[in-house]
Amino acid sequence: MSMQKIFLFCTERSGSNLLTKLMNAHTQICGPSTKHLLNPTFRNLHRYEPLNEKKNWLQFLDDLLNLYNVDFASWNSSLTRDELIGAINCGAIDHLFHYIFDKETKSANKKICFIKEIKLYEIVPHINFFIPNAKFVYMVRDPRDMALSWKKSLIHKGGVVEAAKQWKIDQQQYLKFFHLENKKQTIELLRYEDLLSNPKEELSRIFSFLNLNYEPVQESFYKDLKTKENSKKNDAWKNISKGLLHGNKEKYKTELSAEEISIVQHICFDEMNFFNYPIENTKFDLKKINHNFIKNKGLQEVKDLPYSPPDGVLDNMKAKKVFYQKVIYDK
């Protein structure tokens, strides 16, 4: 029988790596750093059809293992081609992904796997089809702080405009599934700021949702050796080895300009209201903000701000791209 899977709805630069490692510190939960295995594979299964043909299945496994083995995130377990061929029947996608995540979970002597990937809204129907007992945690962060973090990061192109647009798109898409899953009581919403302010209360609520006892994971998660190892993989993960940074919120008030704050609020206004993020009075002339103003600002940010992802991130992107370009010809 496959182990329980919990999936994290999240946007980049929104505390998702922190939450994953907090979950990982629970004695029952394995929270591996993401390898981004699900989105590129599930979205492109049709490119390998029919998957029950051995030639196509082996090509799919080769591409998956290429992505899995990129030096992007470190796991306890490992996989080989012969192992997967022997363990999984041709075309058995559900068994394949259960096998991969169950093996990592068993290697940590845990019973539940907490899976973080971005843009999961693109594959929720696949998740619900292949893993019908899945649960979801939906984590959101103030878009102004998310945009600040994005702007500072070397692994994201552009600045606050690109960040705000991505935040808005993500929330619009996630909210569609949030309302559906909420009716089934299979999802729990968490704001990043609330986690920092009241970790015990918020973590207790999440663990209760998962039918688990509360454990003070916030006191020790950053001491885990694998967490420390992954914190060095790229700059975006460095904070997971520092403990809970209670003051890591509302930094936009001093580090973004009035213009930048106003742009983010203009783009994200409706969704900010839904999540109860108050709109700031920046005293910026809002009449200046229109489609062309935002477009030009975004283009200028892409031109001016540094973009220099480490090799592991570039290799991961390259390995994911293979799935979107795959063409399997008939014999």
Lowest mean pLDDT among 165-179, 259-273, 275-289, 311-325: 275-289
- Helix, strand or coil, per DSSP, at residue 268: helix
The total number of structural domains in the chain stands at 1
pLDDT tens by residue, 290-299: 999 999 999 9
Q: At 330, is the pLDDT very low, low, confident or very high (cuts 50, 70, 90)?
A: low
**Dihedral of the alpha carbons of 44, 45, 46, 52, in degrees to the nearest 10:** 160
Interstrand relation of 187-191 and 112-116 (parallel, antiparallel or unpaired) = unpaired
- Model confidence at 286, in pLDDT bands (50, 70, 90)? confident
CATH assignment of the domain containing 303: 3.40.50.300
pLDDT > 70? residue 331: no
**Mean pLDDT, residues 118-136 taken together:** 94
Q: What is the pLDDT of residues 64-100, one digit of tens each?
A: 999 999 999 999 999 999 999 999 999 999 999 999 9
- Residue 69 domain flag: yes
- For residue 152, pLDDT over 70 is answered with yes
- Per residue in 188-208, pLDDT (tens digit) is 999 999 999 999 999 999 999
Classified as helix, coil or strand, 75 is: coil
Q: What domain range includes position 135?
A: 4-325
In a domain, 113, yes or no: yes
Give percent above pLDDT 90 in the chain: 82
pLDDT at 237 over 50: yes
What is the pLDDT at residue 328?
Answer: 67
25 assigned to some structural domain: yes
Report the mean per-residue pLDDT for the chain: 93
Which conformational region is residue 277 in: left (phi greater than 0), alpha (psi within -120 to 50 degrees), or beta? beta
Query: pLDDT at residue 43 above 80?
Result: yes
26 located within any domain: yes
Residue 244 pLDDT class (50, 70, 90 cuts)? confident
Detail the DSSP E strand segments found in the chain.
Answer: 4-9, 29-30, 112-116, 135-140, 187-191
Strand arrangement of the beta sheet that strand 112-116 belongs to: 29-30, 112-116, 4-9, 135-140, 187-191
The residue behind tokens 């043909």 is 53
Residue 331 lies in a domain: no
Asked, for residue 330, whether it belongs to a domain, the answer is: no
Which range, of 72-86, 130-144, 274-288, 306-320, averages the lowest pLDDT? 274-288
Residues 153/154/159/165 CA torsion (nearest 10 deg): -80
pLDDT at 283: 80
Indicate whether 22 belongs to any domain. Answer: yes
Task: Give pLDDT, residue 2.
Answer: 80
CA–CA distance, 326 with 6 (Å, rounded to integer): 29
Confidence (pLDDT) at 18: 93
Q: Examine residue 223 and state whether it is found in any structural domain, yes or no.
A: yes
